Structure 1
Amino acid sequence: MRASSGVRTGVAVAALAAITATTLVACGDEDTRIPSIGYAVDNTVTTYNGGTVAGSVSAAPQAFSRVLPGFALTAPSGGAVSDTDIGTAVEVPGEQQVVTYTLAAPAVWSDGVPMTCDDLVLAWAARSGRTAADGAPLFDAASTAGYTDIERIDCAPADKVATVTFRSGRGYVEWQSLFGAGTMMPAHVAARIAGVPDVVSTLAGGDQDALRRVADVWNTGWNLTPAEGEDVGTVDPAVFVSSGPFRIESYSVENGLALVPNERWWG
């Protein structure tokens, strides 16, 4: 959202633990002042990916819920509520549990690349605990709940629709919470950094070296370290892309994690 005067509106998330929240207004005259809201969180943000073991114990889930939204968000009551800005999820009647996920037509990452079913496939591969080499999971996922019950995801690379089939007899009652806020990382970024054509064909192909590279990106490729001193802590927008109304602008010890409006947000 932008103020009518053209002044940029931002949201700052404290980088270090604190117990109070305060409203911050940058110094300057009325024409240059940047209004912002400061939020204090109880841990340091160490990664963009809250699904990793390290990410789950950092403040990533709190900081990025509106930077990396998904098909569901958490209601005040604690249950899952559909986030139709991202898309729709519909359970298909039948003996075996099947859910069809359709990403909204205008849904794009902040770099302009469309959100696709590749993003769901990466989330499942990482969080199912079943993508392994030499008997050990390649992805350092904090939890596999629900995702390990998925048998397969039918997805044509770069398509907007994914059909998720759960294992026979292993239907997941809380399926509406799957692929929610913070779970879907940008598969196209992971593919580019890992040097693979796309995540879907790479996971299906079984090339162990390629799988390891994709997993390495998911595990540590989105790590965040705040800049020190006078460095504003610019964050690479081509790597830390957003799918929500806010995106990361900078991260520093002095000024914390600064989130600003995502100009490509369609919701």
Structure 2
Amino acid sequence: MKITRFGAVAAAVGTGVLVLSGCSAPAAQDSGLDEGTSVNVAWNQAFYSYNGSTSFGNATANNNITSMTLSDFKYYDNTPELQKDTSFGTYELVSEDPMVVKYTVADDAVWSDGTAIDAGDLLLGWAANSRALDTPDFDPSEFTDPDTGEFTDDFPTDIVYFDSGAQPDTGLGLVQDVPEISEDGKSMTLTYTTPWVDWELDLPPMLPAHVVAKNALGIDDNAEAEDALVTAIQDNDAASLASISNFWNTGFNFTELPSDEELYLSSGPYVISDFQADQFITLTANEEYTGDRQPNIAEVTVRFIPDPNAAVSALENGEVDVISPQATTDVVEALDAIDSATVLTGSEGTYEHLDLQFENSKSGHFDDPKVREAFMKVIPRQEIIDKLIKPIVGDDATTRDSQIFVPGAEGYDDSIAGNGSDAYADVDVEGAKALLAEAGVTNPEVCILYASNNPRRVNEFQLIQSQAAEAGFNVTDCGSEDWGGLLGTPGAYDASLFGWQSTSLGVTSSGPTFQTGAINNLNFFSSPEADAVIAELGGEFDADAQIALQQELDKIIWDNYYGATIFQFPAVTAYNESAVTGIDPSILAPTIFWNITEWEVPAS
């Protein structure tokens, strides 16, 4: 086994937007694709949605795949630094006051069905991710299935609601007027109501407007369908937009290969070619792709292996060539025994946390802040570190004590000194009992949602359950293999145990998690003070002032008994160097997949 460390720059990541056998062949040529080559990669969660911009589909397991199939104007390398993909298109800051941004798609950029990518796709991206045309004051919670997290069949058909979590005072939500489209149909110009510091990160990868329109409006011709969608947006046609938003929300959710190939069109280097439920998804090189990120390997199969020990066995047996499992003591020891494995270790941009539901919980007990505070006092954070993390990374392992900053980042030490997290450094059973008595609550039930097929999460749940019982909490098991889709579902659970994976270095990246109603706000947290700080942060361009505002936000979150951060993930990636080379993980999502087009299959 060869061991290399990566992720030494993890401490530089202050915050991040929060979102799962090689054949022998001729040596890779500079010209690109090696026909007949393939690689198998293991991931711990199955793909289930092609739209990673919805509250349901926003998950690493989905965005890993779409990072290979949907082109974007920009991406992060593993420095990490933001890079522009000018082969797909360009964006520019036309004016600072007012802030005006122009996006232009490359002339030769096309979807995998040959349809040109153009301003219609851009305009749909704006409408969905600004929610500027949504029906005001609509609450979708009563139309969400508590068993799956998806919208139910009785979702109103006359409501315009794009499930992107966009807010009117942040990001694309600040672009309230319909953007201008250029005469050649390749550019879109946005005018912000106020300057926004992270404007470069606002527009996510686009979905095909003509596919959405064909399904939503019942039009067969690609060009006619997209023209109708553009007109509906420009005219604010509520009836058409209701159908368009409904399909955008749900039409790209699937757990096996759809019969309709248009539901997984690609604008990137790979296109989905096979998908077996709960087993694997296969991507092949996209023949229509003309961008710079040309792949070397013809076929990539991602196999879904939730158990990290099973992933190690699959690597050893040659069933997969690359794994990036959740690091446990057993995994590290097993990899140490595999001579053919090259192992990369380091830090991830992911942190473990336990969030408490402020509203719409299963039992309703956490509506009371005293009960939330009491439960936070019995989360055995240090015991989890001692028993589950120190055996992997050593005695230097510590709790993560900030909701905003990564340990080691500028501002972290000062923030944890004043954010109030020290009140939960040690378990305080008597303090929890006293708070429950003040609240007049006896033996409150707390059902925790977590990945039931993840060994480390099972161990964490058991440690929390045992410790909380001493204070009188009845912790019950809401664990599920389908936990990702259930997050944010009203009435499904009381607390959730999972990890947030950072996807960017945006200053405002905490907004989607902590702002009222935002896409990652899955526990119904709402604080006018937090909302005000997040809005102010978006317009602040001074680095020192940004840190001060983030520290203020950190304290507000802890003061509201939001839940508790636990630890920063240790990372381990292993691969068979005789089957594939070029593996060079990033601490940001999509981690190992960020440079998939640079991977190569060595000569036999």
TM range (shorter): 0.7 to 0.9
Structure (1 or 2) with the greater helix fraction: 2
Amino acid at match of 1:138: Y
Kept in 2, the 8 Å contact 1:72–1:178? The answer is no
1:206 to 209, 214, 236: 236
Name the CA distance, whole Å, in 2 between partners of 1:25 and 1:135. 55
Q: 1:38 aligns with which of 22, 40, 43?
A: 40
Q: How far did residue 191 of structure 1 move?
A: 1.1
* Residues 49-76 of structure 1, C-alpha deviations (whole Å, 9 max, x = no match): 0001111135111111121111111232
Q: Distance in 2 between matches of 1:198 and 1:68?
A: 23
List aligned pairs for 1:207-226, cutoff 5 A: 207-226=237-256
Q: Structure 2 residue aligned with 1:126, among 128, 142, 145?
A: 128
Distance 1:178 1:94 in 2: 16
- 168, 175, 195: which one pairs with 1:150? 175
CA 1:163 to 1:69, structure 2 compared with 1: closer, same or farther past 3 Å?
A: same
TM-score by length of 1: 0.78
SS at 2:262's partner residue?
Answer: coil
**Which of these residues, 200, 203, 214, is aligned with residue 192 of structure 1?**
214
Aligned to 1:139: 162
Partner of 1:5: none
Q: CA RMSD in A?
A: 2.4
Aligned partners of 2:111, 2:183: CA distance in 1, in Å?
Answer: 16
Given that residues 166 and 173 in structure 2 are in contact (C-alpha distance below 8 angstroms), is that contact kept between their aligned partners in structure 1?
A: no
2:107 corresponds to which residue? 105
CA-to-partner distance for each residue in 1:224-260, whole Å, 9 max, x for gaps? 122xxxxxx4653223211111111111037511111
**Aligned counterparts of 1:259 and 1:149: Cα–Cα separation in 2:** 36
- Is contact 1:73-1:177 (8 Å) kept? no
1:4-83 matched pairs, under 5 angstroms: 23-25=21-23, 34-57=36-59, 59-83=61-85
Deviation per CA, 1:66-116: give whole Å up to 9, x if none. Answer: 211111112324443211121011111342111111110101111111111
Q: Distance in 2 between matches of 1:80 and 1:142?
A: 24
CA shift in 2, pair 1:93/1:178, >3 Å? same
2:90 touches 2:103 (CA, 8 Å); kept in 1? yes
**Alignment-derived partner of residue 14 in structure 1:** none
* Structure 1 residue 150, shift from structure 2 partner: 1.8
**CA shift at 1:130, angstroms?**
2.6
2:143 is aligned with 1:117: no
Contact 2:72 2:206 in 1 (8 A): yes
- Of the three residues 137, 157, 161, the one matched with 2:187 is 161
Deviation at 1:163, TM superposition (A): 0.9
Contact 2:46–2:278 (Cα < 8 Å) also in 1? no
Kept in 2: contact 1:88–1:102 (CA 8 A): yes
- Structure 1 equivalent of residue 286 of structure 2: 262
Residues 160-207 of structure 1: per-residue CA shift (max 9 Å, x gap): 01111111xx21212222324xx3111111111111543221112222
Q: In structure 2, which of residues 198, 217, 229 is the aligned counterpart of residue 174 of structure 1? A: 198
2:119 is the alignment partner of 1:89: no
Q: TM-score under structure 2 normalisation? A: 0.36
In the comparison of the two structures, how many residue pairs are matched? 230
| Aligned-partner Cα distance in 2 for 1:235–1:172 | 42
| Counterpart in the other structure of 1:251 | 275
Rounded Cα–Cα distance in structure 1 between residues aligned with 2:86 and 2:273? 26
- Partner SS state of residue 261, structure 2: coil
Judged with a 3 Å threshold, the aligned counterparts in structure 2 of structure 1 residues 74 and 235 are, in CA distance, closer, same or farther, namely farther
Q: Which residue of structure 2 aligns with residue 230 of structure 1? A: none
C-alpha distance in 1 between matches for 2:95 and 2:233: 28
Cα distance in structure 2, aligned partners of 1:72 and 1:263: 22
Partner of 1:132, secondary structure, is coil
What do the CA deviations read for 1:12-46 (whole angstroms, capped 9, x no partner)? xxxxx6xxxxx3559xxxxxx95421222232211
Give the conservation status (yes or no) of the 8 Å contact 2:96–2:195: no
SS in 1 for 2:263: coil
| Structure 1 residue runs without a partner (length 5+) | 1-16, 18-22, 27-32, 227-232
Residue of structure 2 in register with 1:229 after alignment: none
Match of 2:17 in 1: none
Judge conservation of contact 2:272–2:284 (CA < 8 Å) in 1.
yes
CA distance in 2, matches of 1:108, 1:173: 31
- Verify the 8 A CA contact 1:69 1:86 in the aligned structure 2: yes
Q: Aligned equivalents of 2:165 and 2:58: distance in 1?
A: 6
Partner of 1:10: none
Tell me which structure has the larger Cα radius of gyration: 2
Q: 1:242 aligns with which of 251, 266, 286?
A: 266
- In structure 2, the gaps of 5 or more residues are 1-19, 25-34, 139-159, 218-224, 292-604
Asked if the contact 2:172–2:203 (Cα under 8 Å) also holds between the matched residues in 1, the reply is: no
C-alpha displacement of 1:156: 5.2
